[in-house]
């Protein structure tokens, strides 16, 4: 497909501003957004309504939302190329989510692995929002007639549910009601693992700060965290499932440099884990350091960020309200 043809296609994605972003968010999602921003009609936002499915401190939530948007721009997203906004500034997201809730089944939502994980951690009182979280995500995607959703592997199931809901609604109310989206998952970096427990995903909300490299970490913090990363008792550097810690560091290198894992493994013949950790740390520092410095600068430019977001929200509302009107009319809701 040529570039101008693809520009007609919609690419959309988002991150929860529930904490500082990690290199998992960067390598699994954000890097791909930057890579494709000139080829598609792009919509990127911060999903703060999703973030409140677990308790957030109001001041922190507000600040992390600005920080997330500053990070998108620092990573290379150009506000002239992509529409940037915040979910709570576009009320159509919550409105369509209600409608989709009425067409979603308890059974299918109960099968979502992210719900199973998060509800286990929620204790006795599991917020209903945690259960209907993927329905709000479906609303985010369907409002913009999205073709492609660049995300990490953990979101694939949610996009499959979005597709099921779109098809279900189209069967009931007409084929052209919703566009059926596709996930776009990078071949390397789609699941960066915790540095402390390399069989689990690196997560913003991990209580152990050594488990994740945050995009706001200092160079020293990054070096320390990677040098402390859990590997195993052996010494051979191999792409082997029985060595998840080593494999994770190889994956991080591959996702940053674009070199294949096989090529990286060959370059370590006869070398020790210490070399692998040292080199990985330097590559991560090189990737994160300029991004962090620029995000720090932009984060202070509140007026600029607010202006970008106001323009983005206006554009988003124009598009989203058209889809919502179409949906109201088909269903028989007065407006
Ligand atoms: P969130 O905020 O958990 O993560 C944001 C993006 O980062 C990816 N990701 C990872 N990729 C690789 N390795 C990791 N360890 C890792 N951790 C996170 C996620 O796959 C995601 O792409 N539900 C979404 C946010 C959302 C959304 C949307 C995304 C809401 N509405 C509409 C796309 C379209 C989420 O919680 O992402």
CATH of the domain at 265: 1.10.240.10
CB 180 within 8 A of CB 166: yes
Is the residue at 208 inside a domain?
no
Considering the domain architecture, whether residues 35 and 172 belong to the same structural domain is answered as yes
Specify whether 31 is catalytic: no
**Phi, psi dihedrals of residue 131, rounded to the nearest 5°:** -75, -40
Statement: residue 71 has pLDDT above 70:
yes
Kindly list the distances between the CA atom of residue 114 and the CA atoms of 86, 154, 197, 216, in Å, as whole numbers in the listed order.
23, 8, 18, 25
* The pLDDT value given to residue 3: 56
Mean pLDDT of the chain: 96
8 A C-beta contact, residue 87 and residue 68: no
- In this predicted structure, the answer to whether residue 334 has a pLDDT above a threshold of 70 is yes
Whether residue 139 sits in one domain with residue 15? yes
- Considering the domain architecture, whether residues 252 and 150 belong to the same structural domain is answered as no
288 vs 213: CA distance, rounded Å? 9
CATH code assigned at 37 = 3.40.50.620
Return the pLDDT at 140.
99
Same domain for 310 and 289: no
Using alpha carbons only, how large is the chain's radius of gyration in Å?
21
Pocket of ligand 1 (CB under 6 A): 12-16, 24-25, 27-29, 47, 50, 137, 140-141, 149, 151-152, 154-155, 158, 190-192, 201-202
Query: What pairing do the DSSP bridges indicate for beta strands 182-184 and 41-46?
Result: unpaired
Q: How many angstroms separate the alpha carbon of residue 176 from the centre of ligand 1?
A: 28
Q: Point out the catalytic residue in the list 201, 225, 243, 247.
A: 201
Looking at the structure, do residues 155 and 118 belong to the same domain, yes or no? yes
Tens of pLDDT, residues 101-150: 999 999 999 999 999 999 988 888 999 999 999 999 999 999 999 999 99
Q: Are residues 115 and 261 in the same domain?
A: no
What local confidence, expressed as pLDDT, does residue 68 receive?
98
Pocket test for ligand 1, best of 46, 71, 152 (most atoms within 8 A of CB): 152
Ligand 1 atom, smallest distance to 191 CA: 13
Give the closest residue to 192 by CA, choosing from 21, 45, 81, 28.
28
Ligand 1 atom at minimum distance from 155 CA: 20
Same-domain status, 178 and 314:
yes
The total domain count for the chain is 2
Neighbours of 24 (CB within 10 A): 25
The pLDDT assigned to 122 comes to 84
Same domain, 244 and 157: no
Backbone angles phi, psi at 212, to 5 degrees: -130, 145
Tell whether 25 and 44 lie within a shared domain. yes
User: What pLDDT, in 10s, does the model give residues 72-110?
Assistant: 999 999 999 999 999 999 999 999 999 999 999 999 999
Pocket test for ligand 1, best of 19, 29, 113, 215 (most atoms within 8 A of CB): 29
Tokens 């709000």 sit at which residue? 136
**pLDDT digit string (tens) for 14-48?**
999 998 999 999 999 999 999 999 999 999 999 99
Closest C-alpha to ligand 1, atom 26:
14
Q: Is residue 105 part of a domain?
A: yes
Give the bridge partners for 44, in sequence order.
13, 84
What pTM, to 2 d.p., does this model score? 0.97
Percent of the chain residues past pLDDT 70, beyond the cut: 99
Q: Please tell me the predicted confidence (pLDDT) of residue 2.
A: 58
What's the domain range around 258?
Answer: 219-296
Residue 204 annotated among the catalytic residues of the structure:
yes
Q: Are residues 134 and 26 in the same domain?
A: yes
Describe the crossing of helices 128-142 and 113-121 by its angle, rounded to 10 degrees.
Answer: 140
- Which tokens go with 33? 């957004």
- Helices marked H in the chain — which ranges? 3-7, 23-25, 31-36, 48-51, 58-75, 92-101, 106-110, 113-121, 128-142, 156-173, 219-227, 244-257, 261-267, 273-300, 302-331
Are residue 67 and residue 178 in the same domain, yes or no?
yes
> Is 323 domain-assigned?
yes
* Residue 315 designated active-site: no
β-partners of residue 193 are 201
CA–CA distance, 141 with 320 (Å, rounded to integer): 10
Q: Is 77 in the same domain as 178?
A: yes
Query: How far apart are the C-alpha atoms of 61 and 72, rounded to whole Å?
Result: 17
The per-residue pLDDT for range 160-174, each reduced to its tens digit, is 999 999 999 999 999
pLDDT of res. 124: 87
pLDDT of 287 strictly over 80 = yes
* Block residue for tokens 């906004």: 85
Q: Which of 281, 228, 248, 222 lies closest to 20, judged by CA? A: 222
β-pair partners for 152? none
């Amino acid at each position: 497909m040529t570039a101008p043809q693809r520009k007609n296609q919609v690419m959309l994605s988002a991150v929860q501003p529930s904490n500082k972003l990690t290199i998992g968010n960067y390598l699994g999602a954000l890097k791909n957004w930057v890579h494709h921003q000139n080829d598609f009609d792009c919509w990127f936002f911060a999903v703060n309504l999703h973030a409140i499915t677990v308790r957030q401190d109001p001041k922190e939530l507000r600040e992390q939302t600005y920080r997330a948007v500053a990070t998108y721009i620092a990573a290379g997203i150009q506000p002239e190329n992509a529409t940037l906004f915040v979910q709570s500034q576009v009320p159509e997201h919550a409105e369509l989510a209600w409608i989709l809730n009425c067409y979603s089944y308890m059974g299918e939502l109960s099968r979502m692995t992210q719900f199973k994980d998060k509800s286990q951690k929620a204790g006795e009182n599991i917020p209903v929002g945690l259960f209907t979280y993927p329905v709000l995500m479906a609303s985010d995607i369907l409002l913009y007639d999205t073709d492609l959703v660049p995300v990490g592997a953990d979101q694939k199931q949610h996009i499959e549910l979005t597709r099921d809901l779109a098809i279900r609604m189209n069967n009931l109310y007409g084929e052209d009601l919703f566009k059926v989206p596709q996930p776009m998952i990078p071949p390397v970096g789609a699941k960066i693992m915790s540095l402390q427990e390399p069989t689990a995903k690196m997560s913003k909300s991990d209580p152990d700060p050594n488990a994740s490299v945050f995009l706001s970490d200092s160079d020293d913090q990054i070096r320390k965290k990677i040098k402390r990363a859990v590997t195993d008792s052996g010494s051979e550097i191999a792409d082997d499932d029985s060595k998840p810690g080593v494999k994770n560091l190889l994956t991080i290198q591959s996702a940053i440099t674009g070199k294949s894992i096989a090529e990286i493994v060959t370059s370590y013949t006869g070398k020790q884990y210490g070399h692998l950790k040292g080199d990985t740390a330097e590559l991560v520092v090189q990737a994160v350091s300029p991004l962090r410095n620029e995000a720090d600068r932009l984060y202070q430019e509140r007026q600029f960020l607010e202006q970008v977001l106001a323009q983005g929200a206006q554009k988003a509302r124009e598009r989203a309200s058209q889809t919502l009107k179409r949906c109201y009319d088909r269903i028989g809701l007065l407006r």
